[in-house]
Every structure is written in C-alpha cells, then in structure tokens.
Amino acid sequence: MNQNHAAMRSLLERIEQKTARLGVIGMGYVGLPLATVFANAGFHVTGIDVNAERMAELNRGESYIEDIPSDMIDRLRAEGMLEGTTDFSVLANMDAISICVPTPLRKTRDPDISYIAAATEHVAKHLHPGQVIVLESTTYPGTTREIILETLERTGLRVGEDFFLAFSPERVDPGRTDWTTINTPKVMGGVTPACLKVATALYSAAIETVVPVSSPEAAEMVKLLENTFRAVNIGLVNEVLLICDRLHLDAWEVIEAAATKPFGFMKFTPGPGLGGHCIPIDPLYLSWKMKSLNYNARFIELASEVNTAMPQYWVQKVQDALNEHSKALKGSTVLVLGVAYKKDVSDLRESPALDILALLREKGATVKYHDPHVPSVKHDGLVLESVEHLDTTLAEVDCVIVTTDHSAYNWNEVAEKAALIVDTRAVLKRVPEAAL
C-alpha cells in the first residue's frame, strides 16, 4: 500500500475510533448544532468563528442558539469535547474540517461567496495530508470544485490522495424538534470516490443517515432543488391568494379543501412573504448561475417576484381596512404582531415583517411591534423595541397586523382586544368561532 493510501487508511481508523479531531468553521445556526452532534457522538470538536462574543459564550458553557440548550453546551464543555476559538491556526491540528459559513446575496442578487473564499484560504494555510474538508454552506453548483478545490490544490497536495473534499448541504430548519441535525438525512457528494468514502465515514459516525451522490455538483444542486421547490410552491399559493382576493373567495378555505385530496396535492399556505436563511435566497443562486449559461430560470424569477411583493400587498390590506373604518394609514398606529420569519424562533433573517414595518412607516403610520422571541429590531435605520404591555397595546392601536403566528400568543385575547386585525397567517381562522 502506497503512502497516500496509508494516509487515507489512518484517517479512516481515527474516524472509526473517534480520535479524529473536527474543526467547524462558522458557529451559527448550522455550525453549532453540527458541532454538538459530533461532540455528543464522542468526537473532540473545536468551533472557529470570527465572532469573539459567541466563542466566549460557548466557552462559558452558554448557548446562543435557541435550538441548542445551554445545559448541553455546559456538559460538553465539562467533558472536554467542545471548545470555541477565533484562532484559525488550530486548523493545523484538525483531521476533519466542516465549513458552515454564511452565503448571503449581494444587493445585485448574485451570490456572495466571500465567506467561503476566506474560510478556504484559512484551510489552505494549514492543509496537510490526511485531512477531510466538507463544505456545508449553500451555494451554486460548481463552488466546491471551482473555489475550494482550486485553492487547496495550489498547496501542491492532491485531492483524493493527500486530502479529501466533499459537499454536504445543511438542512437545518430552526425551531423543529422532530427533524434535527442528527436524524435529518445528509446528502454527500465527494470530488473523488475516495473523498466520498472518507466524508461518508466521518458523517456516518455522528449522523443517522448519509445519502451519497455522484459529485459535489449533484449535492449542491440537491439543496437548491429542495428550496426552489418550496419557494415556487409558496409563490404559487401566494398568487392563489391574490387571485382569490379578486374573485372574492377565501383562499385558505380553497387550500384546506384541496388538501383533503389524498394524492396529487401537497399543501402550502400563503403569508406575508418569504423569510429565513434559505428559501428566499438559495433559488437565486441557481438563477444567477444559469444566467452565465444563457438560460433564464423562469419559475425561480417569477416565484421571487410574487413572494417579494407580498409585504406591499399586506400593507395595502392594512390601508384598505383602515379606510373602511374612516381612518387614513398616515397618522394611524399599527402594531405588527411577530417579526421573526417563522413561528417560535427569534430568527429575523430576510423576515418579511421587516419590510412591512418599513413600508408602514414610509406611508406615515406610527409603527409598533411585539414579539416574545425578539426584544429589539435594528434594520436599515429602523430601531424599535418590542412593546412591554401587549394587552394594553392591542386595545390602543388602530390596527394589528399578524405577521408571525407564535405559539405564545393567545389568539382569543388578540381577537377580543384588537379593534381591527389584518391576519397574514390566517391564524384567527384556526381559532374556534365559539371562542372568539
């Protein structure tokens, strides 16, 4: 057996014996859960993040992510299985590296892969034979090979022989308790068969199911398909809402009735727009990539157009509702109920409620908000704090717009105390009439 094969065998043995050391670059909503899963599985994990405050919290045994309890972090710290640092030089001591950095969109709607590029430069600086690197950050097909592989091979080391490279898309859905990092199947695409073998062995040691595919490009495309599927179908039901509005039909009644069909239909519901770190953004990576190949991804562009217009639609509904009560939007006080992008989380990323707040203020309304998970909002010059006394505020404002249907809300009380309600989530339709 030659030296390179011996290096791979040694790495596989360390993975099997759980003596391999894992470094996770980017300790946010994806990286921290991944780090805890591997640490709980018996691997020593070092989290690396440029956010010194987060790493200090981690090292104090405190969690800064709602889905991860602090007592778990505290236990893993006490057991010596998890630590955090801002020092990228620790990568020299790692056998495995997972890259979980953000991939936002620029204002020009093209992918910002600067975080991936920066992380890769750090990895390249400390790359040595017998390392496996897995990118988890969502991006366009070709990134793993074109950006990461090209950079790492400049070191003179060879992929599939000296080091091993793969892509495995994150599938984190904040707030879920049924499907989490440990039991959500992980798609894995290696640059070479040896890369796939090593990366699959690593992740299989901590995660229940690993699904191999033929290449990193296939794995990258899987993630984009998943979120494009959701974005397009949400765009469809949002347009159904607009259509039903003009036909004087109840869109939610139509959707619920259609959902009784046991085959050939999957239920999606309309709302104030798209939010979160994936669905509003990821499909546009693919759209951007296809433009470079002279192809227009029409479904993606149309769905994005419909979904991004929903905040304007709902602000118009607020204005219409006030007009019916002989009030103008300008000068009225509007309470936005819930600003997180989905129920029972504190995540504000791409939340349509932020657009609704801004649009209401642009039209002259006095805006307030309440969210039990978000104590304050700072966004594009907008600085607000969640109102302290919800009961009093509900009765005082001219209109309430429900944007996030948090479980903590007593919808009976909301319906009873608010003089005027615009309900983007149809949550009040789910409250029994006898209770209202």
Active site residues: 278
Helix, strand, or coil here: 21? Answer: strand
The token duo for 353 is 């409620």
Q: How far apart are CA 57 and CA 70, in angstroms?
A: 10
Task: Output 152-157 pairs: Cβ under 8 A, ≥24 positions apart.
Answer: 152/120, 152/123, 152/124, 152/127, 154/124, 155/124, 155/127, 157/127, 157/128, 157/129
Q: How far apart are CA 31 and CA 54, in angstroms?
A: 12
Q: How far apart are CA 385 and CA 370, in angstroms?
A: 8
Q: How far apart are CA 101 and CA 151, in angstroms?
A: 17
Distances (CA, A) of 72 to 32, 37, 179: 11, 10, 18
Contact 350, 276 (CB under 8 A): yes
Q: How many residues does the chain have?
A: 436
Per DSSP, helices labelled H in 248-281 are 251-258
Distances (CA, A) of 212 to 43, 196, 302, 350, 421: 22, 7, 32, 31, 49
Distances (CA, A) of 324 to 241, 248, 365, 427: 21, 17, 16, 22
Chain position carrying tokens 């390249």 = 124
How many other CB atoms are found less than 10 A from the CB of residue 83?
A: 18
Task: List, in order, residues 6 or more apart from 378 with CB less than 8 Å away.
Answer: none
Radius of gyration of the chain (CA): 24
Distances (CA, A) of 98 to 147, 163, 166, 324: 15, 14, 10, 55
Q: How far apart are CA 23 and CA 44, in angstroms?
A: 9
The sign of the torsion formed by the CA atoms of 15, 19, 24, 29 equals: positive
